[in-house]
Structure 1
Amino acid sequence: MPRYIKIILWGCSGLLVIVALAVLIAATFNWNHAKPWINKQASQLANRPVAIEGDLSVNWLRPKEQTGWRGWVPWPEITAQQLTVGNPEGSTLEGNMAEVKNLTVVINPLALLDHTIELPRLKVDEANVVLNRDAEGANNWTFTKEDAKDQPPSKWQFDLQQVQLSRARVHVIDVASKLDMNAELDTLQEASKEGYGIGFKASGTYNDADIKGEGQAGDILSLRAGGNPFPLQGKVSVGETTIGIEGSVTKPQQLAALDVRLSLAGNSMADLYPLIGVTLPNTPPYSTEGRLIGMLEGDDDKWRYENFKGVVGESDLNGTLEYQIRKPRSLLTGQVESQQLRLQDLGPLIGADTSDVKDKGKKDVVKPPPGQVLPVDPISTKAWGTMDADVKFKGRKILRDKDLPLDNIEAHVKLQDRVLSLTSLNFGFAGGTLSNTITLDGRGEKLQADMDTAARHLKLKELFPGAESMDASFGELHGDATLKGQGNSIAELLGHADGEIKALVSRGTISRFLLEAAGLNVANMVIAKLFGDEQVVLNCVAANFGVRNGQMQIRVFKLETEDTTVDVTGGINLRSEVIDLDVRPENKSLRIFTLRSPLYAKGTLKDPDVGVQVGPLAARAGAAIALGVVATPFAALLPLLNTGTNESNDCEPVVGESDKKKSRPDQAQEKQKPENPRDSWPSNQPRP
């Protein structure tokens, strides 16, 4: 036999003997002798006392997960009994952070060559854990030292792949969020087909509200990238809010993905803010259920509540909402529909409190000063800066108070950098339609408001409460309003408003009792002075108001009945709420001329004063009307004549003739039929 072959054989034999001796020593070595050294190293690494007070043993396993030669390298399975982990150095907390009766961990030794501490399996049996965070935010579960940030990053990586828990108790104390909760985990006697192996129960308090919960989860928590989703099912109540989930979590160590059925129920959506961090309004009692998907791998986390169905008060809601966490503001998008919508449930959106649970921190509504009626309660825009939004909403059937004749609603709500826009807010209202575009800019000290409103085919019979009981015919109201203003309350916005208001009322019937029921005090008093208690058949009412810096000035206001024409001039100061109007009736029949006298309307919106004018003012008023002088043109009202109906419009002669009096006084008595209303509709506006 050649010499070099003998050398190789002896070398291999020696290596095998060394390996055999190492395996024999490792298998028979009493690892309890190594506990002092292990305890010291672990304490320094964890920055807190760590001690193995029971037995320490090592078993060697052949890894089934490995193939080839790697499958022949044994993995140590280390079992430590009576393991204690104290609180960080300098902590004032009493007792230990964790006490574990049995801890078993498997280590891949080959991964150490790549500076990776790979733990394929970790099993914890009978553990007591206390997690604590004080009011300043310091906690006992951070294992790195404070000066570690100034040191270069470690070359070593930690890879925990599977965790199995049984008979574990966790006590969480978070002083900052007022959380004090106990949770118990235990192995289920029989594993379910869904993969549940551990049951859990929770109790405690959160923000002085009781916490109760129970559920079940998978027995082995898979932390490996691309591992099986971890099943989770549970129901937790926090105060009056109940939360239910059923689904799975992928890569729980990073919370990379969440896919669960989520149900929520409570007294008010505002109570969810401490739980989800999203500002929601106070609402009536609610409940909802849908699919919650969390996509959390990256800087911009996304939460999607998909195909949810819920109830708020007596209203149903369904749709899909997505919440994206981003800089500088998070974004809420989605579409929501309601088949049955109760307006009372929408009260929170405009500041009304309809919930059974009162907001303890909510301040009282500010009352208007004496003698005024416009709301002065401040409009808060603080929450507008917390997130952006782009949500579309549709309400099919509306349950409403009989005095508020609303129908279908469509709204597109946008919130961008404290600017709230309702690019379309459309209602079915009083048998007609209300179309609105509203922009509220909350970026400055004063709220900037911009509103465009168009009313078409509003039925007087539905506008006025109690009109159905009257044996009379009723006409329609058409109008446009464009207003801009600034202020932090409705009263302040109107007091600084600029814009224009136009309205036409076709043939209809009114009375003082009808106006009184509608709360129109000034109109009620004027009608009573002119016509008494009888029902009045209107041929037309045409009005055009100019608004400048809160001063609402009448450009045109003409009311025509079968035997009387009434012109109104003057204005209303929306800032001081002072009324200053002249009402000038003209009788079509000379034989009753003396029965109509000019009136005045003064006072305030809250306390109006209507009376008969006397002296030269009344004479001048009658003379002006007799000469057919019109102070301002009716041209702005002409587009309202075309309302998309084939019926004759009684306002056409009034508006058309009055406009001709302004442009051609010499032909004031000439009657000319205006052009076809359909031909005069502006090309840039849709037909109602």
Structure 2
Amino acid sequence: MAQARTTGKIGRIVTWIFAVLAVLIAILVVIFLTFDWNRLRPWVDDKVSEAIGRRFEITGDLKVGWQRPPNETGWKRWVPWPRFSAEKITIANPDWTREKFFATLDEIDFQVAVLPLLAHDIVIPAINLVNPSIDIERLKDNRNNWTFKFKQSNEPSTWNLRLGDISLAKGTVKVSDEVTKAEMQVVIDTLGQPVPIGDVMKQQEAASAKSSAEMVGKSGAAKLNKQADAAAASEASAASAASAAAAANASAPNPASVSANTSITTKEGPKPPVPPYAFGWTVKGTYNGGKVSGDGKLGGVLAVQDAQRPFPVQADVRLGDTHIAFVGTVTDPAHLAALDLRLWVQAVSMAHLYPFTGVTLPETPPFATEGRLTGQFREDGNVFHYENFTGRVGGSDINGSLVYAGKKPRPLLQGELVSHLLQFKDLAPIIGADSNASKAKRGDTEKQPSAKALPTEEFKTDRWKSIDADVKFTGQRIIKDADLPITDLYTHVIMKDGVLSFEPLKFGVAGGAIASNIHLDGSAAPLKGRVSAQARHLKLKQLFPTVKTMQSALGEVNGDAALSATGNSPAALAATSNGEVKALITQGTVSRLYMEAAGLNVANVVYEKLFGKRDVNINCAAADFVVTDGVLDSRVFALDTDDAVINVDGTINLKTEGMDLGVHPHTKGFRIFSLRSPLYVKGTFKDPKVGVNAGALAVRGGAMVGLGLINPFAALIPLIAPNNNKPLPCQQMLADMSRAPTAPPAGKKQQAKAAPAYMSSGAAAPGAADKGAKKPATPAAPAAASAAQYRGS
């Protein structure tokens, strides 16, 4: 009996406990449902304001309700979740901004999962934002309103926040940035109906093709489309093969057959389905003084936690004369983990991309490119790949891949570019050598003086320190004027800490090559330049492809140069250059007509024109210039053939672009009716003047008149040229040319060097080895080695 009474007592206690709990729960539910939560607004405002360091305020209703959880199953779906909503929310701006609020919201609502709270996890599956408006401002001193001073706790929080999706209905973003001179407004609104990514891709392809035609012309756009189609077909073929192999291994359908409207297949394999676009946006305003306009599309729900779910984005924006468009996805957009976009870029010059990208690129003709842009945003530096892109630059094609890595202390641009058909004139803007009309089109206000041949446009060295570069470029075939003997191009561009180098810059020229290493140090003012160049195996015949009299010429031209200079433009560098320039023509043949014309041997010229032309042997030819403050002074400048010796003296001034050369032909053998008077080369690079030395010719003419008064036949004596010239000492010239040229440090003058003894008027006779012979039968070993150095290198 006692045990029964005890059991009954315990039962009554348990019953009362459950009854009390039920009453308490009922009271809490009634209070929760009937409580005016607006009374908590001041407390919520103060706590949030304290946490973010800005004034936060809810001026509308604050409500709390209960709803069954979405996507839950089993018993968990019977545990209701609280739903919070707040209307008319404002977040204040700092006191220095133009606008009062950083952000305003008509409403925000979200649910909180109950059970995770027991583990100190705040799980919010989704947040809905209604008509958000954000103001972004920055001053010239880099103060900005988007950096918040969050309250730091001395102890780590025991609560974790996990946020799922973010969705919105309409929205506005205003941008006022004094650093980039940006004044823009972005408006976001619903599209009305979902739009698949495949449809957007087709629309953007058509729009970008039209824009490319406007930028590089219809012909260039058509070639660009063919390039892009070929690249896309190649990539699709590789992707299809890879996907098919993977599908076969997994005994699954081929993912490459999935519609582009729902998924994207790449060479890495299929990606998760891409949700459709739900929002459209437009932008208007100015950026860096240029007009900005454009539009685009966004997905409807932004996945914050699901890093595998792609978020679709699309943009078509014009910034001044630059047009940028892309279609693709952002993965893990809350952390900007990755981009995968198809990108189109068009502009009147690649250099115009600098304000938007921070990447230093050269001035170019109008261009259009398209390719795949992928990117990863990392704490140690963002990395972007512009892969397998195709493009047109002026009349040239361009293809390749580039990688941008956000390294410290400067980002690095790496890659390889190839042009299968390169218009030589498209290289001119890189050094400012294009026409004034071309400069005006790309927005350059500096004009090239009409009297100057060397480009005066200054290098933009202030940009060289913003990025490092390691890029290789190959021009496989160069399209040029008929009289230019250039065939191809290769260069390795290296830029590091403001120093731009070409290691090497190599042109295929006249069956040989001209290779140079160029270093331009833009870290100092003025710029310091250093150049070393080598010309090897340039064929005489190919050097003058449009000169008929040279088409039977044999032999090669070899040479070396070493120069240093200071100045911020090609013209300034040339005007301050110091160093040496050497050139040598090895044994060969040249048209006799060409040589006789240079010697003004009237009878032989007439004879050759009537009865054809013969060839003469070149024993040797050399040019050795010492360059001092931009003035090339001929230390050695001579040509020796079986029929003539030609000496050249004088200077070439790179500062004034003027020439003052004297050409002194000396006939070998007996010539009748010779007007072998000195020639002159004067004028400027743009307006050269070549003629006969009037003084010497007048003396000869006066002598002819004087003798004619005595005896008419004696008047012919001044036109008779006896053999009074000896051949040049070719061995000594070869040995002298084999010594590598030198250049002083930039800004220092080259030391003067006297002409060799064999070039002086008193020592015109050759050395003992040459005496009595036009060519030595067995040249000395040093001379033979010197010639071999050029021929074999």
Q: If the TM-score is normalised by the length of the shorter chain, which range does it land in?
A: 0.7 to 0.9
Aligned with 2:420: secondary structure?
Answer: strand
Pairwise CA distance, 1:601: 4.3
Pairwise CA distance, 1:424: 2.5
Distance 1:560 1:383 in 2: 50
Distance 1:155 1:684 in 2: 76
What's 2:521 paired with?
Answer: 441
Q: Which residue among 272, 288, 295 is the counterpart of 2:353?
A: 272
What's 1:544 paired with?
Answer: 623
RMSD: 4.6
Q: Which residue among 375, 378, 386 is the counterpart of 1:305?
A: 386
Answer yes or no: is the 8 Å Cα contact 1:420–1:439 preserved in 2.
yes
Moved more, 332-341 or 542-551: 542-551
Pairwise CA distance, 1:107: 2.6
TM-score, with normalisation over the residues of structure 1? 0.78
Distance 1:35 1:173 in 2: 34
Aligned with 1:634: secondary structure?
Answer: helix
Answer yes or no: is the 8 Å Cα contact 2:313–2:330 preserved in 1.
yes
What's 1:78 paired with?
Answer: 84
Distance 2:134 2:596 in 1: 72
Q: Which has the higher helix share?
A: 2
Q: Residues 69-102 of structure 1, C-alpha deviation per residue, up to 9 Å, x if partnerless?
A: x98865322133x323153363665675545444
Pairwise CA distance, 1:391: 0.6
1:104 aligns with 2:109: yes
1:507 aligns with 2:589: yes
Distance 2:571 2:104 in 1: 64
1:165 aligns with 2:167: yes
Pairwise CA distance, 1:33: 4.2
What's 1:332 paired with?
Answer: 413
What's 1:29 paired with?
Answer: 34
Pairwise CA distance, 1:320: 0.5
Aligned with 1:364: secondary structure?
Answer: coil
Pairwise CA distance, 1:288: 1.2
Pairwise CA distance, 1:589: 1.9
What's 2:557 paired with?
Answer: 478
Pairwise CA distance, 1:303: 1.4
- What amino acid is the match of 2:46? Q
Distance 2:184 2:69 in 1: 44
- What amino acid is the match of 2:447? D
What's 1:652 paired with?
Answer: none
Q: Residues 214-250 of structure 1, C-alpha deviation per residue, up to 9 Å, x if partnerless?
A: 3333221111163522222333333343322222212
What's 2:674 paired with?
Answer: 595
Pairwise CA distance, 1:482: 1.8
Q: Show the 5 A alignment for 1:493-642.
A: 493-494=573-574, 495-504=576-585, 506-509=588-591, 537=615, 539-540=617-618, 542-549=621-628, 550=630, 552-560=632-640, 563-569=643-649, 572=652, 583-590=663-670, 592=672, 595=674, 597=676, 599=678, 601=680, 605=684, 611=693, 625-626=725-726, 633-636=733-736
| Residues 22/76 of structure 1: CA separation in 2 closer, same or farther (3 Å cut) | farther
What's 2:25 paired with?
Answer: 20
Distance 1:420 1:109 in 2: 61
| Residues 528/51 of structure 1: CA separation in 2 closer, same or farther (3 Å cut) | farther
Distance 1:12 1:624 in 2: 137
What's 1:179 paired with?
Answer: 183
| Residues 596/685 of structure 1: CA separation in 2 closer, same or farther (3 Å cut) | closer
Pairwise CA distance, 1:443: 3.3
What's 2:760 paired with?
Answer: none
Aligned with 2:409: secondary structure?
Answer: coil
Q: Show the 5 A alignment for 1:200-279.
A: 200-207=280-287, 209-224=290-305, 226-279=307-360
Unaligned runs of 5+ in 2: 197-261, 263-273, 700-717, 741-762
| Residues 398/477 of structure 1: CA separation in 2 closer, same or farther (3 Å cut) | same
Distance 2:31 2:787 in 1: 95
Q: Residues 146-168 of structure 1, C-alpha deviation per residue, up to 9 Å, x if partnerless?
A: xx68x868748774623443431
Q: Which has the higher strand share?
A: 1
- What amino acid is the match of 1:547? V
Moved more, 328-337 or 562-571: 562-571
1:44 aligns with 2:41: no
Q: Show the 5 A alignment for 1:348-427.
A: 348-353=429-434, 355=438, 358-360=441-443, 362-365=445-448, 378-427=458-507
Pairwise CA distance, 1:337: 0.9
Answer yes or no: is the 8 Å Cα contact 1:291–1:308 preserved in 2.
yes
Pairwise CA distance, 1:398: 2.2
Answer yes or no: is the 8 Å Cα contact 1:30–1:57 preserved in 2.
no
**How many residue pairs were aligned?**
644
Answer yes or no: is the 8 Å Cα contact 1:203–1:210 preserved in 2.
no
Pairwise CA distance, 1:319: 0.7
- What amino acid is the match of 1:447? K
What's 1:284 paired with?
Answer: 365
- What amino acid is the match of 2:474? K
Moved more, 393-402 or 329-338: 393-402
Distance 1:663 1:6 in 2: 137
Answer yes or no: is the 8 Å Cα contact 2:554–2:590 preserved in 1.
yes
Aligned with 1:291: secondary structure?
Answer: strand
Aligned with 2:92: secondary structure?
Answer: coil
Distance 2:492 2:191 in 1: 50
- What amino acid is the match of 2:769? R
Distance 1:60 1:419 in 2: 65
| Residues 108/574 of structure 1: CA separation in 2 closer, same or farther (3 Å cut) | same
Q: Residues 541-588 of structure 1, C-alpha deviation per residue, up to 9 Å, x if partnerless?
A: 611304253554445443345632333456556567676656444433
Distance 1:106 1:237 in 2: 41
Aligned with 2:767: secondary structure?
Answer: helix
Name which structure has the greater RCO, CA cutoff 8 Å, separation 6+. 2
Q: Show the 5 A alignment for 1:129-208.
A: 129-136=133-140, 137-144=142-149, 155=157, 159=161, 161-176=163-178, 177-186=181-190, 188-190=192-194, 192=196, 193=262, 194-207=274-287
Distance 1:160 1:206 in 2: 38
Answer yes or no: is the 8 Å Cα contact 1:88–1:140 preserved in 2.
yes
Distance 2:12 2:561 in 1: 103
Unaligned runs of 5+ in 1: 513-522, 641-657
